[in-house]
Amino acid sequence: MSEPRLIVGLGNPGADYADTRHNVGFWFVDRLAAELRAALAPQGRFFGTVGRAGERWLLQPATFMNRSGQSVSALAQFYRIPAEEILVVHDDLDLPPGSIRLKKGGGNGGHNGLKDIQARLGTADFWRLRLGIGHPGERDAVAGYVLKAPRREEREMIDAALDRCLIAWPQLAAGDTAAAQRILHVKPPQESLP
C-alpha cells in the first residue's frame, strides 16, 4: 500500500443525514481530524469539507453520495494525487456492524459513492476502508435502511470499529497494509459467538 495522501470519508451533507448509516465515512474523518488536530472547513473549489495534516488531505464531499467523485477528483487532480494514494472510507452493507475490511480496487458493490468515484477517476485502483453497517435483509429496503440511524447496539459496534481504525491509523499512514489488516480484520464480539 502506498502511503495515503488523501483520506476521503463518504456521506451526505446536512444535519438530516448526520447520524445515518450512510455517513460512517464522515464519522471516521471527523475522528481522524480530531486525532491529527486538523481543522475541517468548507472549500468550494473541492466541493467539500477539507482538512490538512502535514502532506495529507482529509475530505468529506458535500456533493451528496451519488456525486462524491466530483469532489474527490477535484482535490486529487489539483494536488496530483494518484488513485493508489487515495483511501476512501465508506459504509458496507455486506459486512455486519463492527466489521472492517481494508482492500484495494475491486467492484463497487452497488455503492453509489464508489461508483461515481470510479467513473470520475477513471479507475477502481484506490484503497477502501469498508465499515460494516449490516443489511436490512431485503434489497427493496436498502435505500431507507442506509438513510436511517443505526440502532443503539449497532452504533456501539460501529463506534468500536471506528476506534479500531484509529488504533490502526499509524500502520495505515505508513502504508503497512499487513500490519493494519491484523488490527482491522478481527471479528467483532457478535461474530465470535458460537
List residues forming the annotated binding site for tRNA.
17, 64, 66, 112
Q: Which of 22, 90, 111, 135 is catalytic?
A: 22
User: Is position 22 annotated as part of the catalytic site?
Assistant: yes
- Angle, CA 45 vertex, CA 40 and CA 49 arms, to 5°: 20
Q: Which residues are annotated as a binding site?
A: 17, 64, 66, 112
φ, ψ of residue 116 to 5 degrees: the values are -70, -35
Strand ordering across the sheet containing 100-104 = 41-43, 48-53, 56-61, 6-9, 86-92, 127-132, 100-104
Positive or negative CA dihedral for 78, 79, 84, 89? Answer: negative
Contact 104, 64 (CB under 8 A): no
Using DSSP bridges, classify how beta strands 56-61 and 48-53 pair: parallel, antiparallel or unpaired. Answer: antiparallel
Which residues are known catalytic residues? Answer: 22
